Structure 1
Amino acid sequence: MIYFTADTHFFHAELLGNNDFAPRPFKDVATMNATIIANWNQRVQADDQVYLLGDVAMVPNKPSAFAEVAAVLEQLNGQLIIIKGNHDNRAFLKYLAKHDAGLSAGKAHYQFADVGELIKINHHQYFLTHYPLLLGKVQQTFNLHGHIHHYMLPIAENINVGIDAPERELLPERVPFGTPLAANEIEIIFERKQAALANPSHD
């Protein structure tokens, strides 16, 4: 299976509690990190792939901090395809590549895409980026992105897959915090977002 997520922001203490940007009601980063790991692994199996669309963690730019993040990422099931976000410096990504312990199947635990990736699933094209794109008029094409956390662009084809994203509220059943999204959930989000934009409620 292939899954999608973004903006895990491991170790980002400034996001804890209530705020207007990305409220995370956890007592400390250890609890937040553990919650994301548990909910991730509840869904993702060892042989799955997860596209992590940037902003993996918020730590100082030094190897000891990178090692802390690596220790968290090593607990996540599946192969991670990491697309660089604005908080992911290249030294950090190089550290992960150098210290990749691999998966039991002999595959690398990490793959990397500096700007983005284009894949096809269920006759749809998925442009995978950290920053949202303006695609113009398209058919059967989605831009999955992160970066804007609490905000949902008023364009059905732009789908924020970040763990704080409001698009997750469009799903018929609540997805636990930190859970990567499957392709069928992306399609449900698109259909419901498209319908909501076509028929906005009037107060």
Structure 2
Amino acid sequence: MRCLKSVNTVRRDNYHRTILKGVLSWFVILCLLFLVHNFLVPGNFSLEYNGVAFLALIFIYPLHKALYILASFKYRSNISVQFVRRFYISPCIQIKVKHMMPKRDYLFSLLFPFFAILFLLIVWMMMVPIWNSPVFLILMAVHFGISYPAFVLANNIRNLPKSCFIEEAKRGYSVLISD
């Protein structure tokens, strides 16, 4: 294996800048969801399911990380999970795969949590009239905001050769190609 490219995502995509863009995308999606809801059902918010949606809002971040680990289950012996404190108060779960992964598996593990949770939220919305709850709309927007860094990384990786391998480095990731 030889290294085709080493990308320093810490320097290029600063963590704080990525979080800020994720929060901004969360806010834009929230505004769009409220506008669409207001056009479809004007002024008809129900407070009936706010408690359940708030519990889902609390558990969406750990569920997102658990689904990422589930998608990387084939490489479970090389996964390290650490609890890191960000912004001096916010506990974050940092997951690193210490072994190289094929590009296809890496992209699948990045995007699986987004599509799985989105599917669960849509099914929940169809089964129970929770889409009238403003907290549920906030939950949907937070889900999109949490997934923003994965989409940025997937966008960076999608144009790489099909047969390459991705290895997470200390400050980003390396792209490896077999000789």
**What TM-score bracket applies, with the shorter chain setting the length?**
under 0.3
Q: How does the TM-score come out when normalised to structure 2?
A: 0.28
> Which structure has more RCO (C-alpha within 8 Å, separation ≥ 6)?
2
Query: Which of structures 1 and 2 has the bigger CA Rg?
Result: 2
Greater helix share, 1 or 2?
Answer: 2
